Amino acid sequence: MKGQYLAVESALTLSLGLITVLGVVTIADSYSSQVYDTTDGFEAKIVQAEVVEKMNNLKVVNGGSHTNINLPNQLSNREYLVTGGEKLTVEVEGKEYSTELHSEYNLSGSGSGDIKLTQSDGEFIISDR
C-alpha cells in the first residue's frame, strides 16, 4: 500500500514540476517578444528620423541630387524594409511602423541597410545602394 502512495506522490511531484517549467518558459517567451516589439519600435523611429532628416537636407537643393544613408543592416537582429508612399514605413518581421510625411513630400521606392535617397524636382526615391 505504501508503494502505491509513493508512486502517486512521485507522479504528482513530476506533474507539478513540468507545469512550473512550462509556465516559466511561457512567461519568458512572452517577455522576450514584448522586448523585441518595443526595441523594433524605437529602432524604426530612429531609421525614420534619419530618412526624414536627409529628405529635409535634399529639399533645399534645386534640381536633381542624391545622398547615401547609412542605416543598420538589421533591426534587433531581424531583417527590415523601408518603404515610401503617403507614409514612411519601416516593416520588421510583418509589423509595420509608419510615420506621416508632410504633404509636400512625394516619396517612393524601398530599401534596407545602406540606401540611396534621390531627389528630382520634388520627388524623392529610396533605393538600395
**pLDDT tens digit sequence for 66-80:** 899 988 888 878 899
| pLDDT (average), residues 103-110 | 82
The pTM for the full model equals 0.72
E-assigned strands of the chain?
A: 64-70, 80-83, 87-92, 95-100, 106-111, 114-120, 123-128
Q: Which residues of 89-111 are buried (b: 16+ CB within 10 A; e: fewer)?
A: bbbbeeeebeeebeeebebebbb
**What are the domain boundaries of the chain?**
2-128
Buried-state track 11-32, b at ≥16 Cβ within 10 A, e below 16: eeeeeeeeeeeeeeeeeeeeee
Arithmetic mean of pLDDT over the chain:
85
* pLDDT of amino acid 1: 64
DSSP state of 90: E
pLDDT tens figures, 11-58: 888 888 888 988 888 888 777 777 777 788 888 899 999 998 988 888
Mean pLDDT of 71-91: 88
What gap in Å lies between CA 54 and CA 16, rounded to an integer? 57
Could you tell me the pLDDT band of residue 82, with boundaries at 50, 70 and 90?
A: very high
pLDDT of residue 97: 92
Looking at the DSSP bridge assignments, the partners of residue 109 are: 126
